Amino acid sequence: MHKLDRYIGTTVFFAILAVLGIITALALLFAFIDELNDLAGAYGTVEALRYVALTAPRRMYEMLPMASMIGCLIGLGALASHSELTVMRAAGVSVGRIVWAVMKPMLVLMLAGLLVGEYVAPHTESLAQGTRSLAQGLGEAQTSKRGVWHREGQEYIHINAVQPNGKLFGITRYRFDAQRNLEASSFAKRAIHQPDGYWLLEEVRETRFLGESTELITRDQERWQVELTPELLTTVSAQPDALSITGLWSYIGYLDEQDLNNGGYKLAFWTKVLQPLVTAALVMLAISFVFGPLRSVTLGQRVFTGVVVGFVFRIAQDLLGPSSLVFGFPPLLAVLLPALLCALLGVLLMRRAG
């Protein structure tokens, strides 16, 4: 029986890897084509290729649930097409045993996905975003198309590029008083985080608004004491879905302290935490399809069905997630509900097949 489990698991495992490689390659190709519209200045074709390559771990992580479902349909479907599943059932192998044989490699993939999403993808995504912003911004005030906005207290901050090693480029700050009148604005070409916990601004130009007049002040260096750490800035510069679970959790707490909205980050947090459950639910649905409605159809029909169901599931998630932010119901429910529906449908179909 161990050989049988290994045979089923290996077939499904390599089918999932093949599907994951194909859809990730397609996603990277489309991303590169999209980046060609943004070529300008120091951001050329080579830089665009580097940016797209650095985003590959994040894209693989995001594609894992859909790839698992389609790969499971292909792997188990191939066994069904050659009547191997029929022989296994005739030999007394239960549906539960086959499901467990499929889930074993899935546990490995889920663990690998968690490690990539937690340790690899956030670092490469931060490096990709920082490199692209720096190439497009060139250190000028707010010329970066993809800069970062942030607010701390009465100060609004725009940063052209954030590097993971504690360096910032193109820092523009606007300081307001309690009546929301602009008191001062400043621009620094660079900022380097110091071991003592503050930022050292370089080549600073500050404009102070004094009623009917203004005052221009230039400094070679300026000490900038702010609660933003390099880790937090790396978090701010990335999209919520590109962050690690620990990074999201710490930034949610920081936004709470600053009395800022953190709904989008809570949604991304629960999406990442529950991704193994979502993947398992989609795989369960795929197994039920192979034993039920898709038992005797062609490979192309199985792939088409998997793509359609995967896209419907993704659309449902994309609709429920923002809806939770608009209508105020918990983001946990928005992530959990589609997965539970898929798991329930899979269990019902397998009971009918059994």
Domain boundary, last residue among 196, 222, 238: 238
Say yes or no: 107 and 152 in one domain: no
In a domain, 254, yes or no: no
Say yes or no: 123 and 268 in one domain: yes
pLDDT digits (tens, 9 = 90+) for 45-76: 898 999 999 999 999 999 999 899 889 888 88
Say yes or no: 104 and 192 in one domain: no
Query: Number of C-alpha atoms within 13 angstroms, CB side, residue 339?
Result: 19
Say yes or no: 105 and 148 in one domain: no
Say yes or no: 43 and 110 in one domain: yes
Closest CA to 68 of 274, 347, 277, 282: 282
SS (H, E, C) the chain: CHHHHHHHHHHHHHHHHHHHHHHHHHHHHHHHHHHHHHCECCECHHHHHHHHHHCHHHHHHHHHHHHHHHHHHHHHHHHHHCCHHHHHHHCCCCHHHHHHHHHHHHHHHHHHHHHHHHHHHHHHHHHHHHHHHHHHHCCCCCCCCCCEEEEECCEEEEEEEEECCCEEEEEEEEEECCCCCEEEEEEEEEEEECCCCCEEEEEEEEEEEECCEEEEEEEEEEEECCCCCHHHHHHHHCCHHHCCHHHHHHHHHHHHHCCCCCHHHHHHHHHHHCHHHHHHHHHHHHHHHHHCCCCCCCHHHHHHHHHHHHHHHHHHHHHHHHHHHHHCCCHHHHHHHHHHHHHHHHHHHHHHHC
Q: Which two tokens stand for residue 304?
A: 């088409």
- Supply the pTM of this predicted model: 0.80
In the prediction, which pLDDT does 53 show?
A: 94
Residue found by looking up tokens 């230039």 in the block: 218
Domain boundary, last residue among 198, 222, 238: 238
In the prediction, which pLDDT does 200 show?
A: 93
Closest CA to 221 of 238, 198, 251: 198
Residue 309's pLDDT band (cuts 50, 70, 90): confident
In the prediction, which pLDDT does 115 show?
A: 92
CATH of residue 175's domain is 2.60.450
Say yes or no: 153 and 54 in one domain: no
Task: Report yes or no: 36 and 48 within 8 Å, Cβ to Cβ.
Answer: yes
Say yes or no: 129 and 28 in one domain: yes
In a domain, 145, yes or no: yes
Name the residue with higher pLDDT: 104 or 165: 104
C-alpha 176/C-alpha 64 separation (Å) is 45
Q: Tell me the CA end-to-end span of the chain in Å, nearest whole number.
A: 20
In a domain, 71, yes or no: yes
Count of domains for the chain: 2
Say yes or no: 214 and 272 in one domain: no
Give, in degrees to the nearest 5, the angle at Cα 178 between 172 and 181.
Answer: 55
Count of other CB atoms within 10 angstroms of residue 142: 14
In the prediction, which pLDDT does 54 show?
A: 93
Beta bridge partner(s), residue 174 = 156, 185
In a domain, 246, yes or no: no
In a domain, 250, yes or no: no
Residue found by looking up tokens 């602009």 in the block: 182
In a domain, 114, yes or no: yes
Whether the predicted pLDDT of 191 surpasses 70: yes
Say yes or no: 282 and 322 in one domain: yes
Question: With 0-12 CB in 10 A as exposed, 13-18 as middle and 19+ as buried, what is 81?
Answer: middle
Residue 146's pLDDT band (cuts 50, 70, 90): low
pLDDT digits (tens, 9 = 90+) for 270-302: 999 999 999 999 998 888 888 775 566 666 677
In a domain, 165, yes or no: yes
Span 205-229, mean pLDDT? 87
In a domain, 257, yes or no: no
Say yes or no: 290 and 222 in one domain: no
For 208, the domain range is 139-238
Q: Classify 94 in phi/psi space as left (phi over 0), alpha (psi -120 to 50) or beta.
A: beta
Say yes or no: 232 and 148 in one domain: yes
C-alpha 276/C-alpha 270 separation (Å) is 11
Say yes or no: 132 and 25 in one domain: yes
Task: Report yes or no: 191 and 212 within 8 Å, Cβ to Cβ.
Answer: no
